[in-house]
Amino acid sequence: MASGSSAAARRLLLLRHRRRHLVPNHHFSSSSADEVLDGGRVKIFDRDLKRRHRDRAAWAMRETDPLVDAVADNLLDRLEDCRKAFPSALCLGGSAGAVRRSLRGRGGIEKLTMMDMSVDMVNKWRELESATDDGPEMNFIVGDEEYLPMKENSQDLIMSCLGLHWTNDLPGAMIQCRLALKPDGLFLAAILGGETLKELRIACTIAQMEREGGISPRMSPLAQVRDAGNLLSRAGFALPGVDVDRYTVKYNSALELVEHLRAMAETNALFQRSHILKRDTALATAAIYQSMFGLEDGTIPATFQVIYMTGWKEHSSQQKPKRRGSATVSFGDIRKQFGSNQD
């Protein structure tokens, strides 16, 4: 979540190796201030920039990623808790590749559609898919979660693994998911929560205050746990469920952390981001991170908070509470009835 700092971190590495050549500045800036307002709606994230991040992640990502795989596996675990099978499933952006890897026949999926904003990412998935023959029938589309191109009542399951926290209109995206689901269809999502990368957030802020006398948004705002339940019910899902998991990943240096963020396409995509990161601010950030949070073995920990959300599309078969005072039989009568049967 710090695109500027990643470029600086790369420079830092080069400095260490005492090599002297110019590093291309990895800036992906296309936004202008007048794009922030789109039909009265506030845009927080630069979706075009995020798309390019995902293009980059398509080649930067590793074969397996322990953090992402753990999240995908945890998410898919929830399918085993349902007796229902989900013949048609849609998997939205984020770490859909990891979802595909960890699926292993769970959920009775027969047709799996994978969607992402990035053409490169989708092509990468398709390449990997052609290597394995078994598994569900696969389809690929390029699309945006904010403009879901899915017919109403067409899917049994919609999954999103670490992708929805980059949408400008999260409730809107979730409502579109609900509409695309068949009645009694399941919505499963994992998003990053507000505790994520708190160490980097603190180190960045202190370094900026120290060196520049002010701060700029280096990190994106993330949903809090208490918001997740509200989001589900606001989107109209029945039987909402939210739970939280926290993962701590150890890195050798701040540089490694930033490289990992890039490989996951989780770098800063705020519209109001600062396009410049001074070298000494980046160095200070790395130093502060190391001194404040560094562990005895020289590694630095980074926290990732993941919020898992489950919700169902309404269906008459789902359990609901009865209206208060609607009972017609008293518990006393029930006891009498069963008592007489036993005699």
- Which tokens is 307 given? 């919020």
The count of residues in the chain is 343
Interaction between residue 127 and another protein (CB under 8 A)? no
Interaction between residue 34 and another protein (CB under 8 A)? no
Binding mask 61-90 for another protein (x = CB under 8 A): ---------------------------x--
Stretch 147-166 residues interacting with another protein (CB under 8 A): 147-152, 154-155
CB 28 within 8 A of CB 49: yes
Q: How far is CA 107 from CA 47, 97, 232, in A?
A: 31, 17, 22
Closest CB to another protein among residues 137, 243: 137
Interaction between residue 139 and another protein (CB under 8 A)? yes
Q: How far is CA 95 from CA 99, 163, 180, 283, in A?
A: 7, 7, 20, 30
Give dist(CA 243, CA 71) in Å, integer. Answer: 12
Interaction between residue 26 and another protein (CB under 8 A)? no
> How far apart are CB 144 and another protein at their closest, in Å?
5
What's the DSSP call for residue 224? -
Widest pairwise Cα distance in the chain: 95
Give dist(CA 206, CA 281) in Å, integer. Answer: 9
- Distance from chain centroid for Cα 287: 28
* Beta carbons within 8 Å of 171's beta carbon, 6+ residues apart: 231, 234, 235
Give dist(CA 146, CA 125) in Å, integer. Answer: 21
Interaction between residue 141 and another protein (CB under 8 A)? yes
Interaction between residue 235 and another protein (CB under 8 A)? no
Interaction between residue 129 and another protein (CB under 8 A)? no
Q: Which of 127, 137, 210, 243 binds another protein (CB under 8 A)?
A: 137
Stretch 85-114 residues interacting with another protein (CB under 8 A): 88, 111, 113
Closest CB to another protein among residues 25, 139: 139
Q: Residue count at the site for another protein (CB under 8 A)?
A: 25
Interaction between residue 274 and another protein (CB under 8 A)? no
Stretch 171-190 residues interacting with another protein (CB under 8 A): 179
> How far apart are CB 183 and another protein at their closest, in Å?
16
The contact set with another protein (CB under 8 A) reads 48, 88, 111, 113, 117, 119, 122-123, 126, 137, 139-144, 147-152, 154-155, 179
